[in-house]
Amino acid sequence: MAQYLTLEFIAMLTGFILIIIGLWGMITQKNLIKLVIGFSLFDTGLNIVIVSMAYVKNSTAPIIDKAVDVSQAASKIADPVPQALVLTSIVIGLGVTALMLAYVLRMYREKKSLDINSYTDLRW
């Protein structure tokens, strides 16, 4: 159990919980905005998961400066890759969320309803 009581695990757990909450929102909330919020939560949780993955025990930010010398960089810094990935992930999430919101706006405009059950014209 002790292995789970680390900083990175708790961060990761938080991320997973956010993912679950977001998912729950996505599959139960009938309101379109809330659905988008669910997705946002999911996305945020995912980003937290990625970030917490980058952490190496007792390490610092991957920037070479006075605190971290080039020669010892490998032993002192956190993994820069997930940090790079999360940047991309955040931006993508932003793009998708913007797109979703634009859709919601447009759908509301069409039917004056934010209930997802009103948009079942296409089926079967």
Partner 1 sequence: MVNPIHIVSIALGVAFALGFLGKREKLALGIVYTALAVMLAISASWLSHFWGNVTEPIQIFTGGFKPPFAINLQMGLAESVFTLLINTAGLLGAIYLANELLKAGKNMMIVFLVLVLGLNVMVMTRDLFNLFVFMEIQSIAIAGLVILNPDRKSIPAGFKYVIATGLISSLLLLGTVFIYYFGGTLNIDFISQESLLYVKGGSVAIFLVLLSIVLELKPFPANGWALDVYEGAHPGIGALISAASATAGVFVLDKLMVFGNFTFFNAISIIGAITFLGSNLLGIKQDNTRRLLGYSSVGQIGLIMTIIGLKPYLGENTKFIALAILLSHYLAKAGLFWLAGMVNADKLKDWGAIRGHRIYLFLMGTFIFTLVGFPPFPSFFGKWQLVMQLANNHHFWLLAIILIGSFFEGVYLFRWLGYAIKWDEVEQNYPKIKLNQFIPTVIFAVLAYALGFYFGELSGYKSTFIYMAAAFIAFLYIFDFLPVFVKNTLAIGAMALYYFANQDTFHGLTSIFFIIFVIGGIITLLAGYTFKGKRTGFYPLVMMMFAGLIGLLEAKTTLEFFFAWELMTAGSYFLIIRGKKSMEHALSYILFSVGGAYLILSGFGIAQIGHTGMGLDVLKDVHYYAPIAFTLMAIGFMTKLASIGLHIWLPGAHAEAEADVSPMVSAILLKAGILGLVMLFLSMGPQKLFGIDVLYVLSWVGVLTALMGNMMAAFQEDAKRLLAYSSIGVLGYALFGLTMMSHLGWLASLSIVVTHFMFKSLLFLAIGGVVMRTKTKYMYQMGGLIKQMPFSFVSVLIGIIVIAGLPPLTGFGGKWLMFNAIMENGWYFQAGIAFFAGVISFLYCFRLIHTIFLGQPKDELRNVKEAPFWMLVPQYIIITILLVLSALPNSMLKPIGQILLNYFPDGALVWHGQLAIGPYGYWNGKLILAIVTIIFLAVFAWLYIINRKAQKVKQFNIVYAAERPFRPETTHFAYNFYAPYQKALGFLVAPGITNFWDAVSDGAHAIADKIRSIYNGNGQTYLAHILGFTVIVYILMNGGF
Partner 2 sequence: MIKKGLLLILLVGFVAVISGLLINFTGSNELNPLASYYAEKGPTEVGAANLVTAVVITYRGFDTLGEVTILFIAAAIVGFFLKTMNADTNRPLRLRKTSEILETASTLLVPTIFMLGAYIFVNGHLTPGGGFQGGAVIATGVMMIILARPASQFNHKLISVLESISGIGFVVMGVLGLVLASGFLNNAFLPLGKLGSLLSAGAIPIIYVFIGIKVGSELTSILDSLKENQNEI
CB of 39 to partner 2, least distance (A): 14
Q: Cβ atoms within 10 A of the Cβ of 54, count?
A: 20
Verify binding: residue 116, partner 2, rule CB under 8 A: no
| Contacted entry of partner 2, partner 1, none for residue 50, CB cut-off 5 to 8 Å set by kind | partner 1
Nearest to 39 by CA among 83, 104, 87: 104
Question: Can you tell me which of 30, 67, 102, 119 binds partner 2, judged by CB under 8 A?
Answer: 102
Query: Residue 112: left (phi > 0), alpha (psi -120 to 50), or beta?
Result: left
Is residue 12 exposed (0-12), middle (13-18) or buried (19+ Cβ within 10 Å)? buried
Nearest to 47 by CA among 87, 10, 8: 87
CB of 7 to partner 1, least distance (A): 16
Radius of gyration of the chain (CA): 20
Q: What single letter denotes the amino acid at residue 4?
A: Y
Q: What single letter denotes the amino acid at residue 58?
A: N
The footprint of partner 1 (CB under 8 A) covers 19, 23, 26-28, 30, 32, 35, 39, 42-43, 46, 49-50, 53, 81-82, 85, 88-89, 92, 95-96, 99-100, 103-104, 106-107, 110, 116-117, 119-124
The footprint of partner 2 (CB under 8 A) covers 3, 6, 8-9, 12-13, 16, 19-20, 23-24, 27-28, 53, 55-57, 61-65, 70, 73-75, 77, 79-81, 83-85, 87-88, 90-92, 94-96, 98-99, 101-103, 105-106, 108-109
